[in-house]
Each structure stands twice: as C-alpha cells, then as structure tokens.
Structure 1
Amino acid sequence: MTPAEPAFLPGLELSRILYEEAVRPVLDDAFPGLPYAAARIGPGSEVLGFDTARSADHDWGPRLDLFLAPDDAAAHGGAIRRLLADRLPKEIRGWPTHFRPAADPLDPAAHMAATDGPVDHRVFPHDIGAWLTQEAGFDATAAEPGVRDWLAMPQQKLAAITGGAVFHDGPGLLTTARRRLARYPDQLWRYVLACQWQRISQEEAFVGRCAEVGDALGSAVVAARLVRDLMRLSLLLEGRYPPYGKWLGSAFARLEAAEALTPSLLGAMTATDYPERERSLCAAYEAVAIRQNATGLTDPVDPAPRSYYGRPYLVLHAERFARPLAASLTDPYLRGLPLTGVVDQWADSTDLLMGRDGQALRAAGAAVGGR
C-alpha cells in the first residue's frame, strides 16, 4: 500500500521550516559566526508563489539556498553539504529531505524519496557573486547594473531573483542585490514600455488583414500574440517583471488591472468571428492605454482606437504611445537604440530565457543594436 502523501504546504513555507528547524541549528553549531544568507530564490514555481500539490512530483520539496562570500564558499561549501547530508532530518512536515535522480533519461528532474542513509539534500551553498552572474549575467552585489546589464537580463530571471523569500541575511549582500534588481530604473522602464507598445503596433493590423483574406486561423493566432503582449505590458505598467509563458496568466491574474481587462482579453481569444475579435481587442487596447496615460510618464495620448490608414478595421496605432515614451528618454545610450527592447522582448526561446548561462545572455544582448 502506497503511503499517503503529506498535506501540501507552499514551497516557501516548507523552505522556511527547513531552515529554521534543521539547517540553522547545524550551521550555528558547526560554523558559529559564519556570515551567510539563507533564501529560496531562483528557479522553481514556489519562488513566484505558483506551486500546487502537482509541483511535488519533481524538483520541489524542502529546498534552500545558502549564499556565502567567495572565500567562504570555497572553504566551507563542500563541508556544509556533507555535514547536512549526515545531520538533516529525513523529512520535514512529512516531506522527504532526500532527493533521488530519476531513472528515466527523459525525466531528469529530482524526486523526493525516503532513505535510511545520508540525505542527498537540496541545500546548496553558493558563492553569491558567481550565482548571480550565472543566473543573470551580472553580479548585483558589486555594483548597480548598467544599461547593458539590464538589457541582457531576462524578466523571468529578474522575477525569480527578486521573488521568493529570504530567511536570513547576515552580510546583507543578497538583500542589496535584490533591492538593486527589484524594478527597472526610470529610464529603462520608459524604454521597455516603449518597446512593448512598439511590438503591439507591429502586428495589431494583421488581425483584420488576415480576416479580410479569409484566414480565420491566422487572425486568431495574431490576436493571441497581441493578448500576450497586452498582458506583459500590463505587468510592466504595474512595476512587475513578466514571467515566462507557464506563469504569465497566473501573474497577470494578480494585477490590479486583471479584473477589468480579463473579459476583453478572453473575448479576443475565444471569438469565432472577426468583428467580435476586433471589439474585444479594441476594448483591451483602450483600457491599457488609459493605464499608460495614468503613469504620467508622457503627456496623455488619445486612447481611442481608430481605422488603420482608411482600411476597414480598427486598431490603436500603438506607435502613438511608443514614440513619446522613446522621446522622453534622456539616457544617450538608450536614445540611440532601436525599439527592440530587453532580451525577452525580442527572443522567445525558453532554453535561452531559463538557461543558466549568463554569459550567453550577455552575448545575445550584444547581438542587437550594437550592445
């Protein structure tokens, strides 16, 4: 008989209990005075608060990240791993602290499992600067990010680094880095918003043009792309980093704008004819445009949709919002860039955006606009 699975706890709560009841006492005893930070940040649905009981089937469970100075990580990281393997409890609130690799090569995720021996745990000591560089391509403990650093950091990565929970930060370096990355500086925010409006302007007329030539499927596909861009724009307007596709809808649902916008966005997605699709999109365009005006970043722009150069379909002409935002830029480097945006406004590969090679991200960023 398979034992009953323990009651689900949000992963961040499980990580907090792991730290307070199991990891901290070991560190206090074996490494008194060692400066470190303990947190659950980075990859994982629990970091963004989207984990459910389903999450427990892979790479979820009692997990913790320990952040150390470079010399301390080199000197003590391995010893901490070995010590915790021997001294951690076998389970926390019924959830095993031991993880086994999957036997299936097509399923590389680790799974919780009972053990009688040492615990193959998921408490990882990191060199904090090296971890940040690996995750985002920049060590935000050392300095404020520059413009080029921001352009190369995916918004999913920024959400994961600044989300989650910090349970202890003796040195304060992790807290400093998270504060520096918490939101785009004003000039970057203006640029990213301009680029997001520009994305919409590039395709908003295609919904009607596809329908006009009898391409109902193409019209629906373009509408879906525009809905995604409006959701991402709404997150940016409320100072949130849009996560990658799996959690975009969940993150959007938490916005102040979500209740009013969702019916129009769903209407655009579910419409079976072009007139209804157009009505829903135009309602969404106008609502987001009004929110853009409310930021006060530029003089207000008329949010009403209008015809596309005399053709028989309505659009926002979203470039009307992109241009004044771009004109408001005072940073000379940003003023000289095309409106292509940060890396995940022009790159869509999950492998790139979720990968752990920060240098690859920097190289990708450098490939656009002479960065």
Structure 2
Amino acid sequence: MADFIPGSDLARTFYAEVVAGAVDRPHTACLIGEGSEVQGYDDERSRDHEWGPRLQLFVAAADVDDVSRAVRSKLPPEHRGYPTRWFSLAEGRVSDHLEITTTELWMSTRLPTVSALEPDTAAWLAIPQQHLRQLTAGVVFHDGLGELSRLRADFAWYPTDVWRWLLACQWHLIGQALPLHGRSVETADDRGAQLLAGRLAELMMGMAFLQEQVYRPYAKWFGRAFADLRAARDLGPLIDRILVGRDDDAFAQALLLLGHRHDELGIIERVGPRIEQFTVGIGDAVRPYPVLNTGEYIDASVASISDRALRDLPRVGSLDQLTHADDTLITFTDWPQALAERYRAQLSS
C-alpha cells in the first residue's frame, strides 16, 4: 500500500492534477461532509474503509451529466498510489467516489438537517452540531459558483440569541449535575460519583466548545477536537484530574475557569464566578456540596436574549444537549425535523 497521505491533501492533488483539467464549466470543488479526513483526523487506520481519492464537485443542474462524463472519462486507475475506484458502501459496488451534483441536491441528501434556506430559531435548535461541523469543516479547492462559501458563512455559528440560550442551557445542565455528584460522594457511592464526574467533565468540555464558538463533533472525535480549543491548555489538565478520581479542587478550578471565560465573552454583564454550598431551594435547606453560582450565569445569559419567546423556552437545550446525536438519529430518522416542529410550536405558544 502507498505511504499514508492525509485525505485532505490527497483530495487537493486529486482535484488539481486530475479533475480540474476535465471541467470546463463553472463549478465548486471541495472535501466536506462525512469522514475523518474532513476533520483532519484521519491516519493509517482510516484507510480500511471509505477512504481514498475523493471529493465533491458541484455544478449547475444542466451541467451535471456532461461534467460527470467528462471527468470520469479521464479518471486514471490510480492517483498517488491509491486506486480511484473502490467499494462504495452507498452503492454496494466498486465505484469512484466523486460526488458530481448540485450544491442544493448534495445538501438535501448528505446534510438533510441543514436547510439551504435561512433557518428560523426552531430549525437552528434541531440541527445537530455534527452536521454543522461537516458543512463548515473540510477544505474548498475552488468555488466558482459561490454557493458553498455563502452557505458556510451563513452557518459558521449560531445566531447570537440562539448562542446565548445554548450557553444558558449548558450552565443549567452543569448546575443540575453538580449537587448530584456531591450527594453521591457524601453517601460513598463511588461508582455513581465517578459516573457523574464523567458526565460533568463532558458538560464542561461542551461549554468550552460553546464559549469558543466551535461546533462539537460526535463522540469519536470529541476529545481530539477539544484538544484544539484554546481552553484545553488550562481546562484540559483539570478535566484529566477529574476523570482519574475524586478531586474537588479540580472541579472548583475548572468551574471557576469556565465562569471567568464566560464573563470575558462580553455578551452579558459580568457575574463573577464563586464556589458556594448547594442551596436546595426548598425551605432553608443548604447542603455542604461545592457548586458554582450557575444560576446567576443562566439568568444573565437569558436576560441578554432579545427574542422573548426564546427567553421563555424551557431550558432543555438544543438537540445535542437534549439527547444523543448519533448517526442513527441524525441521519436515518426524521426526529431532528420532528424536534424542530416541537420547538416551533413551543416558541409560538
């Protein structure tokens, strides 16, 4: 087998040396969508399935057939030592992996949860971040049509009100889990405490993605992508300490760090993070579990939202915060669309 070449580099030379010269129509060439090479995370192991010289080629609807014939007629058996035709899971046979189509059709089939039209708030809340990342990550080699650049700009990050609401919901999830962890520790439920520590570690990492305005990938690449965030330098070692065992000091430092980072976003009045005992909210009950003043961050974030309907929405979060956004759910069911309708109904009530 040929020496490993990162998939994005392979796609770049594939376009420049093979495909570009065969296309005489306005077009867009890119490598986006599914695949570890789109995220820049592929390695030698990635070559065992659905990996090789491939890319998307978007043209006008009237040009699809002509461009397909022209490009495929000049396709060599190999490129840089890799076959240009191999087994396609989608087609169930050996085929090239050139997706030659229109931008609109590719979006509707490959990223069905992401509308090519301007989405409303409900639609934004039901789009899995993995799909948004598949659109905005990857590389564009040529964009003669301009459609993809506009789409990637439109979906580069959430509208400000939606972003603020997601931040509030993430604080809500953290605030709900913190006293549960404290209670598990108090009752010597070591297994339960470790499970909740893992849950809180993921929630805090998820908060870092939101604060840095970076879409989170699905579970396989979550930790890898977190390492690319600015927060990873300081937050990462604290997360590691939390994951290897009971460490209240690491919890406190991580929470305070996220609170300070939130204050520095400049989208709310500064709150000032502090660790305090857990107030149950029923009578005068106070329990000796160290928690962050998440309620103040929630209130400040919600108060900064201009859309009254969104401010009043129950803080269940977006699709990613509400449930597991695995491939079955987001690609092979209509649940994201159904959830969008549920959000829409709630926002209009």
Return the TM-score normalized by structure 2. Answer: 0.90
* Partner residue, 1:64: 55
Please state how far the C-alpha of 1:354 moved relative to its aligned partner.
Answer: 4.5
State the alpha-carbon separation in 2 of the partners of residues 365 and 333 from structure 1.
15
Q: Out of 8, 13, 29, which is 2:9 matched to?
A: 13
- Ranges in structure 1 where 5+ consecutive residues have no aligned partner: 102-107, 113-118
CA distance in 2, matches of 1:364, 1:131: 23
Give the 5 Å matches for 1:182-221.
182-221=156-195
- Whether the 8 Å contact between 2:330 and 2:336 is mirrored in structure 1 is no
Correspondence 1:99 to 2:73 = no
> How is 1:1-371 mapped onto 2 (pairs within 5 angstroms)?
5-27=1-23, 32=24, 34-69=25-60, 71-72=61-62, 76-77=64-65, 80-101=67-88, 120-134=95-109, 135-140=111-116, 143-271=117-245, 274=246, 276=247, 278-309=248-279, 310-352=286-328, 354-355=330-331, 359-368=334-343, 370=345
Q: Contact 1:61–1:96 at 8 Å: present in 2 too?
A: yes
In structure 2, relative to structure 1, the CA distance for the partners of 1:325 and 1:345 (3 Å cut) is: same
| C-alpha displacement of 1:369 | 6.8
Residues 232-241 or 359-368, more deviating: 359-368
Further displaced range: 86-95 or 216-225: 86-95
Q: Deviations over 1:40-94 (max 9, x none)?
A: 001111111111111111111111011233x33xx624x5445544421111111
**Who is 1:105 aligned against?**
none
Q: Distance in 1 between matches of 2:290 and 2:180?
A: 11
Deviations 1:339-359 (A, max 9, x none): 1222111020413555166x5
Instruction: Assess if the C-alpha contact under 8 Å between 1:58 and 1:111 holds in 2.
Output: no
The one-letter code matched in structure 2 to 1:24 is A
Q: 1:349 to 1:179 in 2, by over 3 A?
A: closer
Structure 2: tracts of 5 or more residues without a match: 280-285
Instruction: For residue 336 of structure 1, report the CA deviation from its aligned partner.
Output: 3.0
One-letter identity of the residue aligned with 1:245: A
* Number of residue pairs the alignment of both structures matches: 339
Q: Alpha-carbon deviations, 1:197-221, whole Å to 9, x = none?
A: 1111111111111122221111111
**Which segment is superposed worse, 201-210 or 311-320?**
311-320
**Residues 1:329 and 1:354: Cα distance change in structure 2 (over 3 Å):** same
Q: Is the 8 A contact 2:319 2:325 kept in 1?
A: no
**Contact conserved, 1:58 with 1:110, CA < 8 A, in 2?**
no
**Matched position secondary structure for 2:95:** coil
